[in-house]
Each structure stands twice: as structure tokens, then as C-alpha cells.
Amino acid sequence: MRVVKAMELLSAYTADQWGLVTTAQARKVGVDSVTLLRLGEAGFLEHVRRGVHAATAAGESAHEAERAAWLLLNPAVPAWERPKLDVDGGVISHRSAALLHGIGDLVAERVEITVPRRRTTRDPDTRLRVGRLPDDDVTLVDGLPVTTVERTVLDLIADHVDGGHAGQVIHQAARRGLLDLDRLAPRLGDYCRRYGVRGRDGHALIDNLLEQAGIDPARARPQPTPPTSPLSSWLSVRAAAGSSLPGALGIFDRNGALARIMESSSGISAIAASNPLLAGGLGSAAFDVLKSNGAFGAGLIPSSALGVLGGTGIHALRSSAFDAARSSLWSDGSLGRAAWAASGHLPVNPAGDDGDEGKDGDPSVEIHTDSDEDTAR
């Protein structure tokens, strides 16, 4: 058979099987052992282990030894046709599983595979372990059945690996979010005495193993997520919202976060300094939203905050659109007279008293900005 034709036939397997093909699969498409040998001599195939070949054009494959050993358990059936729990196959487990998950520094001298029934192998580099695995304890890593991280840790401890090595596996898996220690602990009770831990406390065993690895147990446990400040939440929403600031404000303040920001003068200063959209003429929309949910109430905003607000130099405060919002806030009492007066931007008497009134019944008020003061100079 010509080389080109043979490689074309073998590609039916190598294309979707990590670049690998078994001798049994080659026979099924009409490529005999002699042709396989010639393909190897010509540099088109590379011998991986007895009964498994790799297409050199596919390049070097990660975890090739584990994949080849798994294929040989049911060599005639393509990888994509084999179920996760194959009665005629197996699942990569123990040290080999830790290697595929990238946790710990254990050395897998042989490929370890858990099989559902007793069987033998002529491959000296493969170790078969008999055991029935539930579906929840098996996952796929790039199409290869592998015990889950939790089950892998359990198997290693049941195999009584060195405590320091087990602790490293646990630490790395937990730190990467691959392992729930609270879920693992109840499954470890039977193995406490093997490691010198009294009773059946799985958490105590985990701590013991971590300490043997020189790791503070507290470091391996998930740390509580610090609460997100209202200001950082505001900045995140602002960045995502782009020019749709009014809509973003409406969504953002349903939980009252804007109200909490407005309670502090530092919060207002930060918003003013970091939000060009608010400074660009959308102030009225922002204040309408704040007003509608009571965030701009007199008891909520201290006079110090109002003072900062008046001195930030936000151009929106000078716009005619804001005049309307301010008038509305005044008329329904949501903006307390005392708070405005204390800020130094409104007269003590509200509109309708002895004080002057501006157009459309608004209080005659000047809100000074930094740019106004510069002009006055």
C-alpha cells in the first residue's frame, strides 16, 4: 500500500484521537503491521508503546503515555465512541490523575488506571487497579476519562502516600478552586489513624497533611471575599455603561449603592473626578434617579457632602437642565432646607418666603463652580 494512501486511512483515527492510532484500529481500515513498520521507518509514524503509534505530523502530544495506555484497554474502539465509564476500558487515577490535573509534585512511575473488573496487562509501564467508580467521581480531561480532583485526593490518601506530598496536592487544588475541603473532609474519616490523627475528623486530617507539607492550614482554605465598596461598584458600572449613564444609574441604584456613596463627601469627590459623563451634561438624569428613590433626602446627605458637590467644578451643575431638577427636588421637600443652607449655596429662606425668586418660581440661587471663581478673578 502506498504511503500517502495508508496515512489517509489512518487519519480517520489520528485526526480525532490526539494524533494516536492503535494497531487494531489500523487493521480495521486495511493497514497491516508491515505497512505500519514502513511508515515508521519513513518518519510518518512514531512508536509510542506496543500497539500504539503517533502521527509525527501531529507534533508531540501532552500526556501521550496516559492516552496510549488508556487506548490499549479497548484498542479496536475509537476514543470518541467509548463512554466515560467503559466496562471494557478504565479511568486514569491516583498519581497519573494528579499529573493530568496539574496538582502536587508526585512522580507517576507507571500509568495508573482504575478498571471496573479484574484484568491483566502485558505493558510493564501500566498499573491496573480494580474498583468501581460512580459517575460523579469521573470527569473528562481533553476527552480522557480521569478521576475528579476530590476522588484523586481520596485515592492517594487511601493509598497512604507520603503526608507531605498529599498536603501539597490538597493545597494546590484548594488554592486553584478545584477542591472543596468541607466536602472532602467527611470522606476522609476512615484514613485518619493511618496518618496518626485520632478519631475520624477529616478536617483534622487535612490540617495534619497540610502541616506536614509545611503549609499553614488557614492559607489553604478559601478566604472571605471583601465587600465591594459602593464607589468601586459605581466605577465598574460606569466603565461598562459607556455613554448610557442614565440607564446605568437606574439599574445601579436599585440596591441603594448610589445613596451610600452620596453619604460621604469623599465619595462625591471621587465620582466627580472619575466620571466625565456626569461632568459632561448628564447631571440632571443622575439627580432625577437619586431623587426618585429618596437618595437625595435631607437626612441622607450631610452639608459637608453638599459643599464638596458645589465645589467640584462639574459643568452639569451650571446647566439649565439641572435647574429643573433642583427646582423639583426643592418643591417636594426631598432636599432639606437646612442641608442646603448649611452648604452655603442657598439662602436660609426657601422660595415663596421673603427671599427673592428667579424665573419659573425657582429660588434665586447661584451655584458657584471652580470655573466661575476663575472667571471672577
* pLDDT recorded at residue 172: 94
DSSP annotation of 30 reads T
Percent of the chain beyond pLDDT 90?
53
Mean pLDDT on 109-128: 94
* pLDDT recorded at residue 208: 95
Q: How many CB atoms lie within 10 A of CB 244?
A: 13
Q: Which helix (H) or strand (E) holds 147?
A: strand 144-147
Domain boundaries, the chain: 3-61, 91-220, 230-376
Instruction: Using pLDDT thresholds of 50, 70 and 90, give the confidence band for residue 62.
Output: confident
Which residue did the predictor score with more confidence, 350 or 331? 331
CATH value of 3-61 in 1.20.272, 1.20.58, 1.10.10, 1.10.3470: 1.10.10
Strand arrangement, sheet containing 144-147:
126-130, 111-115, 91-92, 144-147, 138-141
* pLDDT recorded at residue 158: 95
Compute the Cα dihedral for 353, 359, 361, 362 and give only its sign.
negative
- Is the pLDDT at 171 greater than 60? The verdict is yes
Cell of 39: 511508515
CA distances from 166 to 213, 217, 222 (A): 8, 13, 18
* pLDDT recorded at residue 284: 44
Which residue did the predictor score with more confidence, 138 or 365? 138
Report the chain's C-alpha Rg in angstroms: 35
* pLDDT recorded at residue 102: 94
Residue 147's nearest CA partner among 89, 80, 101 is 101
Residue with cell 464638596: 308
Instruction: Using pLDDT thresholds of 50, 70 and 90, give the confidence band for residue 60.
Output: confident
Lowest model confidence (mean pLDDT) among 2-6, 109-113, 150-154, 244-248: 244-248
Those residues with Cβ within 8 angstroms of residue 315's Cβ, 6 or more apart along the chain or in another chain = 279, 280, 281, 369, 371
Instruction: Using pLDDT thresholds of 50, 70 and 90, give the confidence band for residue 369.
Output: very low
Average confidence score pLDDT of the chain: 73
Percent of the chain beyond pLDDT 70?
58
Which residue did the predictor score with more confidence, 351 or 122? 122
- Is the pLDDT at 230 greater than 60? The verdict is no
Cell of 187: 470522606
* pLDDT recorded at residue 97: 97
DSSP secondary structure letters along 173-193: HHHTT---HHHHGGGGGGGTG
Residues 14-37: tens digit of each pLDDT: 999 999 999 999 999 999 999 999
* pLDDT recorded at residue 327: 53
Q: What is the rounded CA–CA span in Å between residue 192 and residue 181?
A: 15
Lowest model confidence (mean pLDDT) among 126-135, 203-212, 351-360: 351-360
Instruction: Using pLDDT thresholds of 50, 70 and 90, give the confidence band for residue 59.
Output: confident
CA distances from 250 to 253, 255, 265, 293, 318 (A): 6, 10, 22, 10, 23
- Is the pLDDT at 322 greater than 60? The verdict is no
